[in-house]
Amino acid sequence: MSAQDGPPAEPEPGGESMTVEIGGTSRRLPAEHDYTGDGRPDAAVEAPDGTVVVYSDSEDNETGAAEPDGRADEAWVVDKSTGRAVGEAHVERGTGEWVDEPSGPPDGRSGPPDGPSAPGGGSR
Ligand SMILES: [Ca+2]
Ligand SMILES: [Ca+2]
């Protein structure tokens, strides 16, 4: 893709934020970068264990309509050392609870044989 011109309808950069509701608690997180590639800013939270959770808002959490409502409805757990997603979850419509996706992305499985790059120990 050639992106010579700016994005057509980008919401003002820098001033975005997203609400993440976990277990009845709401957190407001800055959403400044598009990690998922859909053109909308996502929020990211770094965890002490070296993973980053990326939150994405792509639909209305209550109706499921494809309109962002400012509340996160998808999340990916990314291993910082590899840059790969190691987990995925989404908000269950109706209950508003986070549900783990049972299986990873289908194309993440049979890739090129680049072995796990974990030289020298680790915490597991
Ligand atoms: Ca995004
Ligand atoms: Ca949402």
What order do you get walking across the sheet with 25-33 strand by strand?
A: 17-22, 25-33, 42-46, 51-56, 74-79, 84-91, 98-100
Q: What is the pLDDT along the chain (124 residues), one digit of tens a residue?
A: 555 665 555 545 457 999 999 988 999 999 999 999 999 999 999 999 999 999 999 999 999 999 999 999 999 999 999 999 999 999 998 888 999 998 655 555 444 555 556 566 555 5
CA 110 to centroid of ligand 2, rounded, Å: 31
CA 41 to centroid of ligand 1, rounded, Å: 5
Residue 54 DSSP SS3: strand
Ligand nearest to the Cα of 55, by number: 1
User: Is there a domain that residue 102 lies in?
Assistant: no
User: Is there a domain that residue 85 lies in?
Assistant: yes
User: Is there a domain that residue 118 lies in?
Assistant: no
Residue 62 DSSP SS3: coil
User: Is there a domain that residue 112 lies in?
Assistant: no
User: Is there a domain that residue 119 lies in?
Assistant: no
User: Is there a domain that residue 90 lies in?
Assistant: yes
The parent domain of residue 52 ranges over 17-96
State the total domains in the chain: 1
Exposure pattern of 62-74 as b/e (b: 16+ CB <10 Å)? eeeeeebbebbbb
| H or E element in which residue 51 lies | strand 51-56
User: Is there a domain that residue 109 lies in?
Assistant: no
User: Is there a domain that residue 70 lies in?
Assistant: yes
CA 33 to centroid of ligand 1, rounded, Å: 7
> Measured between alpha carbons, how far is 69 from 55 in angstroms, rounded to an integer?
13
Dihedral sign, Cα of residue 72, residue 75, residue 77, residue 83: negative
